[in-house]
Structure 1
Amino acid sequence: MRPHLELLLNNFADKGIYISAYKFRRARTILDQLKLGGLKANAAKIVDPVDGVVTSSGRMDFLAKDIENIDMLEANLQELKTKDGNFRPVLRRLIEAYCETNQPDKALEYKVEWDNSGYEPAAGILSRLIGVCSANNNQQEALKLRNELKAKFPEFKMDMLKYCQLIHGAVKENKIDVALNLVDDIKECGTSTDNVERRVFFLLQNLTEEGYIEEAKQLTRKFIDCNIVNSNNNILRPVVTALMDKRDMEGALSWIQECQAKYGFMPSFHDILVRLINEGDKDMLQKAMEFSSSHHGDINMLYDMTFAFLTTSKFDEAKKIIDTPGMIARAGRLQWYSEKCLVDQMQEQMEKLVEITKDLYNCNRDNLYFSLLQLYARKEDPNKCLQIWTNMQEEEVIPSDRTLRYLANVLKSHDQPIPYEVPQIMDMSPQSGITDINGDDSNIVKLCLEGNIDQALQLINDAKENKTSLKYKTLDTVILSALKLGDVDTALKVRDIIKEFGLTVNKLTNSAIFFHYIETDNLPAAENIFEDFIAKGIQPTVRMTRALALKYEQTGNMDKINNMIDQLGDSHDEQYQLYKYVLGALLYRNELDTAFTKIKEKLSETQNGDKVGLRSFFSKMIQNELPLDKG
């Protein structure tokens, strides 16, 4: 078979008989199936040059051809007609050239001549004609050509740009049914491009900007229902943006509600809230809040409002929401707004977010500080970057290795000293070939990274027996790693070893152990650490103090709370604000009369409701459905 096929292909090439790129692709596939791949080079010689150049690898290069001189082609065509020759290749080149030079009328004229001459249709030419007709608002001819292409080449995949041009043209001519049918066409035939979502987004954006909002809604639903694009905020956003530009906030919110109900997305909801706050539209804002609360919960609604207030620089309102009783950290929501601050370079908003979430329960402070650090670094402000390190120490936030390394790189790039030991990244795989870099310290840190705390403790005990010194940072790493794994016994053993080495356990490490006890409800152990701080004259952190007081409140232990107030002295009012826990404990014991009496006494001393804890007190009464008319 091979010799005959090779001879046939060479004869075609000698006689100037061409095939389209579309047929070449099919022939190439068949040759591969017949295990005759070596003949693809022979087949490439008979590909019509108008469709492109075939590379040595057998692939089509559609960018290799040049736009030919039209006058020369016209003259060549007339000469071939006079000689009664085969002018098909020249005719194809002329149609191609007129498409390239955006002359649809001339291109269509030669298309008619092509048909009248009885030449075989070419998918590439039809596709190009569709593109040039759509670009020049000749919608009727473009659709006619699309129907011809589909009928004659049902397997041909037209690129998405041409589909979008056809759909756009149909909408502009008020033929929404035609546009929707074209979407079905895409689903049935497929498309040759891989940037489908990008094309669809710009189609919807252009339509909404031109005022075709209702049509864009129908097309959005259709594209998603046909699985041509996945539902996401980006695809759903153009309609919201257009409605907001028209100041149709009710229509925008209605579309968001539909998107949430059908697809689980709320496109540009933050932007809606920001606009409503700026415009002071309280009624619509209330509707938006109710919608948010009903669909993804009160906590998420409060985050929506917090971020909107931050963006509009209404920081006091944002803080009031974060201070709402029962508010807890939602890592995903905080990360979203942190990234938005980074992208939009909203420095003040990011700073305020870090500030108002200081006492937010279960908040990953390191993540927030890291985002702020990135923002300062992008603005090339090493002094503010270094201030973050200071703030984290004052707040007793344990920085992650990621934060420490990032800050170190920033300081180093600005020739600033690094005030701490930079943690190293180590490859723990057997193939890495890592040896004992820094003796026992290095091996212990490696074991911690692997999660092998028992073996790390064994090396520490060996070092202790051999009277080998270890760095405090190494021992501290073991404690923190053990706590992450819930192994408090090992953490305490290493803490005792630190003391035996003559070192002092720092406040951060003791705080980490304290919070582990709080989380595991081991109050006696947590109390021991707290009492040890007081005895040594070390001021407990606000987080430690409030966490312990909350535990006492939840059991109604008035004696313990009053003892803490006595130990902390006058600072309990200004810094720790423990009085709200006293009231909370009274509520737990159902001693409402006593609680109201204490409130009156306290208000006679100060008019500051925050010091008394009124907001927290009344919120808890409402939550527990207690009467508000006491006293």
Structure 2
Amino acid sequence: MIMLSMTTSGRTITARVIAHCFRSALQTTPIGRNSSSAAAIINGLNDSESASLLSSNTARVQVSDGLDKKLSQLEQSLRRALRAISLVRTDTAAVAENDTITKLLLTKDRSKDKSVYQLLNSLLEANVDIRHVREVFELYVNNLAVKPTAVMAGPLVKHYILKDNYSEALNEFLRLADEYRITPWKSQLIMHFLENGDQSNLQKVIDVSDKIHGEMNTISDLAVICVELGKSKQAKRLLDTPGLSIKIAKIDTICERLVREEKLAILEETIRCFRNVFDANRDRMVYHLINGYINQQKPDKALDCWTLIQEEAIRPSDKTLLVLGNYLKDSGLTVPFEIPAKIQLTDDPIRSRFDYGKQQQQQTEVLNNSQKKFNIALQEGDIDTALTIKSELEAEGKSLLMSQNCSLIESFLNADRLDEAFSLSESLLSSKLFPMPRIIRFLFSKLSSAGDYQKLEQLEPILPEFILQHNSFTNSVAIAYINSGKIDELINGKFLQLKPFPLGGYLRALEVRPDVEEKLITIANALIREMDYHLPMNMVWINCMKSGRYDDAKRIYDSCPKFKDFLLFSSLLDTIRENNNTELAKQLIEMVSTSNLTQKTIGVVYSALIDAYIGTDQITEAEDVVFNQVINNNTTRIDPKSKQPEQLVTLQHLNRSTLNRLVKAIHVKENREPKFPSPAGRPLATSSYSTTTRNNTERRVDEDDSASSSDEEVLDAKSK
């Protein structure tokens, strides 16, 4: 075949690369009786024919009608490649003159990303050498003014991952990150290195991600990956990072990916893990989850989203309730809440909460010398010098960027200069300039710890509405009253004035002042009587359970019929696991066994008991829970949904990570196989490794819920 050569920036791209791809596709596809003619055309290309081959139907006439869709897509990609090469071959001036043609060429498909991705992927699937594929990618990027993206370059890293060559995949990843500031297949690399305890390479990927995407985005990505691997504890630790802020766009990206990949159980656990992230809009995450179940036509699962909303104390928007309520109603299920009559659909209230770009100068604006000096002073911890520079800027009629104001407030708070932090925050809020939510949360925390409820109340009139609707503010106010010794004022009316009701502050009052428990219970009874609001009494029950007063807890539980259908107890599960408190777990099981809670919810409590036994090396007792209390437990009840008899809990409803921990403990400590089988469709870990397939790649995966010691070091470093 005659070479169609073109030299640009010292590189030679040949038509042989393109033709080889098309020929390989023909050889692996059913073709008609004129196949020899088609092959002859391809092998006998000359300069003009190579440029026009795919613009005609010559090759397509020779093949049978059974040519699959994949070959058609390949042909389209090759046509674009040949046209691009032909365009670039003319000269640089011609490229500039034909800029419109170039844009049309690259945007003919839905996006430039998809166009380039399909081309590179087609070349690799046709076994074209990776070096030639890289040349084609660089041709697009360097000669057609295309801004590279992670999607475009994905096949270059994917090629090595599919071959299980993670060393070369990492090298290609680092090269692309260094040259183009993109991170293709980052999550897959992190997942592999995390699973295999490769601390060194894991740290390399994390460092690159920090540099390109920022620490906050990296932490959120790491947390979701931990959830996918069954490492929820590590995910929660990462998300408890002080000052963590998650952008709405990032939340949407995470949720949309999990819904697209039908990983709705992972999304549900992610929602739980994001509980303590201040500005993570979990209502929006639940909205994505509901739509995922609607797409799968699973109304029962969608109904469970209402239980999730209640358990996690999520404040649902009217939009979420409307979508969920209408779907449940159309599916013939009872709607357990009032469906909103109408909602405002003109603007997205979530995206319009803050528009940082319009509040002040764009963050991308080039900093002047004074602003650079300000940043350096803060980085060195010299707050006073930074204040001097701020004053000089203001004297010139200039101001700091919002990010710089936030950094200054954070520096004040870290140095315990609360008055100055409060003064600057108040000044910004009064001017309708809103610090980042993580900074506001940090300010709330410091003021409540100091017992300064006056300053918190002073901020209330100028705070955005969505912050006032979040119970973190009212909890901060209540805790500030408690820390200042003003708990009597809370009891005498302040508790009832705070809306939403500060459940966290109420529970704190129960814990630190047992002498006023009766007065606090009076408040809870009043809320039940006047507003049918049972959550404060739920907090009283939790406090009794934590303090070991199980008879009192049982009496409260029996006196509130609504507890049979809805009960908050996630903090009790944390206490059980942290303290290996088997007695608390047994008492909790006894109560929820008489409830109408779902089998999955009851299974979570049994899982906590098993974890507590494992934590104290009582392996036999842990296995007994699985074998005798779950598998061979013949206790039945009437399912509140189907009204049919069902077993209280089954092996399927236990946490898979808990079962894996137990299996490994039996292997290591007793050197035998467990008495119980794997749940149907959910193989447990073997004594060494189990094999699973993700993204069409077979890899060894250690199913332990706990990260290896090396992983712990990396994750702990991120959380700190």
TM class, shorter-length = 0.3 to 0.5
Instruction: Give the structure with the higher percent helix.
Output: 1
TM score, norm. by length of structure 2: 0.40
TM score, norm. by length of structure 1: 0.45
Q: Which of 1 and 2 has higher RCO (CA within 8 Å, sep 6+)?
A: 2
Higher radius of gyration, 1 or 2: 1
